[in-house]
Structure 1
Amino acid sequence: MRADANEIYRRYLSAVMLHGHAGARACALGATDLYALNILQLSGAMSPGELAERTGLTTGPTTRLIDRLEQAGYVRRAPDPGDRRKVVVEPVGEPAELDRVLAPARQRVGEILAGYTPEQLDVLFDYFTRAALAYHEAADDLRGTGSER
């Protein structure tokens, strides 16, 4: 392992977080709002309680987060198909403004990835998949909820 591996990785994570914050701000969202929207886009509709659990927020801040995303036109509350007394939060279409704001970084990263061989890309995406699971499990451990993914 390289002697500077930890520092390089921390710089990478910091850059990703910085970009996420800047992208959210450019769309008049908070970083947690963007994170929650990403969860909904990747996982689909879920109850406000599940969204609270996935974001690590309590119910009050989650309600306000959903209100902001709904007001901005990114999500809507809909009746839960399994129990019409409850609601789910679901993403609404493709967020064009977010896509526009995040497109330059995606293009730059795409250009970097284009320089790798298919075998190298397999390793990179295997890492991304496994590291995401490791981070989810570590977050669950920190919250004391155990791993559910």
Structure 2
Amino acid sequence: MSTPEDASRVYRRYLSAVLLHGHAGARACDMGATDLYALNILELSGAMTPGELGARTGLTTGPTTRLIDRLEQAGYVRRVPSPNDRRKVIVEPIGQPARLDEALAPARRRIGEIIGGYSPEERKVLFDYFARAARAYQDAAEELNAPS
């Protein structure tokens, strides 16, 4: 990589591959990519209101309700009353697709081999980048989704 343009292309190719893999993993589990993404959000962040899930997935109210309906019907989430406000419900994860680990295993193995080739110091930098970049992307998404 000799120029910033080359670096940008490499990074964009990486992000496209990650998204493509997410779609392929979802299809392997007979799900839509947004459904699998929502399950991942719930697994990482814990139970939340439908509004919070909608905000995190970028969906409006109607599509969020249909998403939760699909996930609930498939046995991956359940709606429970909010302990703080009886008028609200909380969506909590209760399962994941049976084939998910199997579908993601090849990529996890390959990425594990790549990361395993780095020194402990290099891995520390990689994981620092992952954590900081995740926050940067979340902040940027919130800015893009903020009302004008």
Please give the TM-score of this superposition, normalised by the length of structure 1. Answer: 0.91
TM superposition shift of 1:62: 0.3
Q: C-alpha root-mean-square deviation of aligned residues, in Å? A: 1.4
TM superposition shift of 1:80: 1.2
Q: Deviations over 1:13-59 (max 9, x none)?
A: 00000000001111111111111111100000000011111111111
Q: Which residues in structure 2 correspond to 1:1-149 (within 5 Å)?
A: 2-3=2-3, 4-144=6-146
| Alpha-carbon distance between aligned partners in 1 of 2:2 and 2:86, rounded to the nearest angstrom | 55
| Alpha-carbon distance between aligned partners in 1 of 2:72 and 2:18, rounded to the nearest angstrom | 25
| Alpha-carbon distance between aligned partners in 2 of 1:2 and 1:48, rounded to the nearest angstrom | 46
In the alignment, is the contact (CA less than 8 A) between 2:28 and 2:99 conserved in 1?
A: no
Distance 1:66 1:5, change over 3 A: same
| Alpha-carbon distance between aligned partners in 2 of 1:2 and 1:94, rounded to the nearest angstrom | 43
TM superposition shift of 1:95: 4.1
Aligned residues: 145
Read off the aligned partner of 2:122 and give its amino acid letter. Q
In structure 1, the residue corresponding to 2:117 is in which secondary structure? coil
Which one scores higher on RCO, CA 8 angstroms, separation ≥ 6? 2
Unpaired stretches in structure 1, ≥5 consecutive residues: none
Distance 1:129 1:2, change over 3 A: farther
| Alpha-carbon distance between aligned partners in 1 of 2:27 and 2:117, rounded to the nearest angstrom | 31
Q: Deviations over 1:84-137 (max 9, x none)?
A: 332110111454321221111111111111111110000000101111111111
What is the percent sequence identity of the aligned residues? 74
Between 63-72 and 92-101, the greater mean CA deviation after superposition: 92-101
Unpaired stretches in structure 2, ≥5 consecutive residues: none
